[in-house]
Structure 1
Amino acid sequence: MKVLVIHNLGSGYGEGAIYDFIRTYSVDGDSVTMRFFNGITPFSELLKDAKDFDFVVACGGDGTIATISYELRNTNIPILPFPAGTANLLAMNLLSPSEPHALTKLADQANTMLFDLGEIECKDTKVGFTMMAGCGYDQLIMSNARRKKRLLGPIAYFEAALTNPAPQVSEFAITIDGKTIQSSGIGVVLTNFSKIQFDLMVSDKNLPRDGMLDLVVLKTKNAVELLPTVFAKAVDHSGDLAKKIGAVEVYRGREITIDAEPAMLLEYDGEATQLSTPFTARCLPGAVRYIVSEECIKMFASKEKASEE
């Protein structure tokens, strides 16, 4: 087997689990190529010959895996997401293990599944996301959590949310597949995969293979007003109770354009940016092939069957 490993040196806690994976996975005759990223070399350069390998290991946090996935979109090259960040939400949604020996077994079994990707176009820039993207309060949380992720781990995101109780409120003009709606609030979140820490669902569905993105408008005037909705989603995963509270609006679409006044900054898969509204998000159906477990395949097959009934 020929394997290409892309390892983000700055992800997570700087642990060396990827080297344990290579030692465990490799057998006589295998060829493993490692390339390192630390914020300078473009991923397009690191992945320019990815088609020459049997599969690519994307080692890093959700942002790293999203960028590699977007770079390899529509190539059908299998990608093994290797969770080495702080949140590792994609691995959680895929039911993937984090331990190197278990990931070796996953790679040996070589089960794959196609998933949608999200794409954001803002001015002259395009980026991809696997999990979520957003603007406003969402971006503020990701930006403020960055400094404490290594110290606090996933708790850094909740700490950042609680220490910013009065974020900016904007008026939104949102166009979903050609239809425009008006709304207001402290932010907007787009989801492909929807589950986050503590088994919370940001949107009502978790269907990253249906060619659609979920759009969640945070309609409150401050962060404290979101707490009842968070509690509702914790006790009722259907989303019905959260809808009754009225602090969020949920929509679905294939192409979504968001404008805000005042303008809001963007984030994608935990990466806070200096890009700002307006921007367009679109779903890229079946654009990435992940190496996953049999449990993952069964889970999404079951979800898709239930959504059709």
Structure 2
Amino acid sequence: MTQRRFHLVLNVNSGTVQALGVTSDTLRAMFAAHGLEVTIDADPQTELSDRIRNAIESDADTIIAAGGDGTVTALATAIIHSDKNLAILPLGTANLLARDLGMPLDLDEAIEALRDVEPLAIDVSEVNGTIFLHKAVIGVIPELAAGREYIRGQGMGAKIGFMRYFYRRISRARRLALEIATGDGQSRIERVQAIAVATNAYDEGLGRFFHRDKLDTGLLTIYVLRHLRIGDVFRLATGMLAGHWRDYEALDISTARSVTIRTKKPRLQLMIDGEVQSMEAPLEFKIYPRALSVLAPLRAIKEEMADEQAEAVAQPGATGQPA
């Protein structure tokens, strides 16, 4: 098998990168220890857009995102328009896609895993022209996320202040009136505390916090949270950790191939794959089936193939025998 050519983009500003003391030299040594060659871009003085363009124009067949989910999404946005593969070194806080793909979360193990990975085509989504891989969230959640980012790296006093802000914001949050229209012509008005539009669906299961088994269903999943009081926060969080949250009474779940969200407000604040930004309304959501080629461990790909075969057998009239 031809050895892959890796071009790694390191986000040196990632909190995890700084906490672990990861540098281009340490990464190069770790790749070499596993018999892998890599070109590393760790230049914080160059704009990320320029670094991504350099990666796409390189002769590498695989671009590695070494950072958090925001870094992964930024690289994926460019890669879907190229013939490159995306690979991930989990150096963020959540590492959502890396977890979904079954990548080891230990850095050395993740590098070793790059010796035995294969391309997997997964879905990507878009809202008003902005690509996302996981979810876009509207409502009170983005405001809380913005507050969290503000105190990152500060002392205990700031963290205590954030907890007070969190309590006040949840206690006083007003519901947002929205029209939710799906591509099949269905439309409804909802008053919500938060709404999330996710690429595919999050699964239940013990400890499976925001985990997706399926990354290529071609469907958006819409999570409407009608109220979010302090008690709801703890019940939802506990339910997610325990693996039974879908039947929560304040939560409505539906699927669609496209979604339009309208409101009387001219702009809405969103949290897109962990990054908070403001967008003009209405919000137009689309999904692009199997548009991104990402490297995953062979074990995860075999499990995906086994699931697809099991679903085929379960279809009415299926015999389970090869044609």
Instruction: Provide the TM-score with structure 2 as the length reference.
Output: 0.78
Q: Read off the aligned partner of 2:174 and give its amino acid letter.
A: Q
Name the structure 2 match of 1:164: 169
User: How many angstroms apart in 2 are the aligned matches of 1:261 and 1:18?
Assistant: 47
Could you tell me whether the CA contact under 8 Å between 1:76 and 1:288 is conserved in 2? no
User: How many angstroms apart in 2 are the aligned matches of 1:275 and 1:217?
Assistant: 19
User: How many angstroms apart in 1 are the aligned matches of 2:77 and 2:300?
Assistant: 21
Could you tell me whether the CA contact under 8 Å between 1:115 and 1:286 is conserved in 2? yes
Name the structure 2 match of 1:191: 198
Name the structure 2 match of 1:174: 180
How far apart are 1:272 and its partner, in Å? 0.6
How far apart are 1:198 and its partner, in Å? 4.6
Could you tell me whether the CA contact under 8 Å between 1:266 and 1:276 is conserved in 2? no
| Offset from partner CA, 1:39-65 (integer Å, 9 cap, x none) | 834255343404x21211111110110
User: How many angstroms apart in 1 are the aligned matches of 2:272 and 2:69?
Assistant: 9
SS in 1 for 2:15: coil
User: How many angstroms apart in 1 are the aligned matches of 2:308 and 2:193?
Assistant: 32
Name the structure 1 match of 2:275: 271
| Offset from partner CA, 1:130-176 (integer Å, 9 cap, x none) | 11111112212321111344469xxx8x9686563133311110111
| Unaligned ranges ≥5, structure 1 | none
User: How many angstroms apart in 1 are the aligned matches of 2:41 and 2:221?
Assistant: 36
Q: Determine if the alignment matches structure 1 residue 120 to structure 2 residue 127.
A: yes
User: How many angstroms apart in 1 are the aligned matches of 2:271 and 2:287?
Assistant: 16
Q: Determine if the alignment matches structure 1 residue 102 to structure 2 residue 132.
A: no
1:289 to 288, 293, 301: 293
Per the alignment, do residues 83 and 36 of structure 1 end up closer, same or farther by CA in structure 2, a change over 3 Å counting?
A: farther
1:140 to 123, 143, 149: 143
How far apart are 1:37 and its partner, in Å? 4.8
1:9 to 7, 12, 23: 12
Name the structure 1 match of 2:304: 300
| Offset from partner CA, 1:196-243 (integer Å, 9 cap, x none) | 9952348xx642211111110111154533443443343344x5xx43
How far apart are 1:16 and its partner, in Å? 3.9
How far apart are 1:105 and its partner, in Å? 1.8
User: How many angstroms apart in 2 are the aligned matches of 1:217 and 1:278?
Assistant: 17
Name the structure 1 match of 2:209: 200
Q: What is the 5 A alignment of 1:15-26?
A: 15-17=20-22, 19=24, 20-26=26-32
User: How many angstroms apart in 2 are the aligned matches of 1:307 and 1:182?
Assistant: 35
User: How many angstroms apart in 2 are the aligned matches of 1:305 and 1:17?
Assistant: 41
Per the alignment, do residues 247 and 104 of structure 1 end up closer, same or farther by CA in structure 2, a change over 3 Å counting?
A: same
Q: Pairwise CA RMSD of aligned residues? A: 3.2
Could you tell me whether the CA contact under 8 Å between 2:124 and 2:131 is conserved in 1? yes
How far apart are 1:81 and its partner, in Å? 0.9
How far apart are 1:88 and its partner, in Å? 1.7
| Unaligned ranges ≥5, structure 2 | 315-323
Per the alignment, do residues 143 and 306 of structure 1 end up closer, same or farther by CA in structure 2, a change over 3 Å counting?
A: farther
User: How many angstroms apart in 2 are the aligned matches of 1:150 and 1:195?
Assistant: 32
Could you tell me whether the CA contact under 8 Å between 1:113 and 1:291 is conserved in 2? yes
The share of aligned pairs that are identical, in percent, is: 17
Per the alignment, do residues 276 and 168 of structure 1 end up closer, same or farther by CA in structure 2, a change over 3 Å counting?
A: farther
Q: Determine if the alignment matches structure 1 residue 61 to structure 2 residue 65.
A: no
User: How many angstroms apart in 2 are the aligned matches of 1:129 and 1:96?
Assistant: 20
1:47 to 45, 55, 62: 55
| Offset from partner CA, 1:264-303 (integer Å, 9 cap, x none) | 3111110011225321111111111111113322443455
Per the alignment, do residues 30 and 95 of structure 1 end up closer, same or farther by CA in structure 2, a change over 3 Å counting?
A: closer
2:227 to 220, 223, 229: 220
Compare 59-68 and 293-302 and name the one that shifted more.
Answer: 293-302
User: How many angstroms apart in 2 are the aligned matches of 1:137 and 1:39?
Assistant: 34
Q: Read off the aligned partner of 1:6 and give its amino acid letter.
A: V
Could you tell me whether the CA contact under 8 Å between 2:66 and 2:89 is conserved in 1? yes
User: How many angstroms apart in 1 are the aligned matches of 2:91 and 2:113?
Assistant: 16
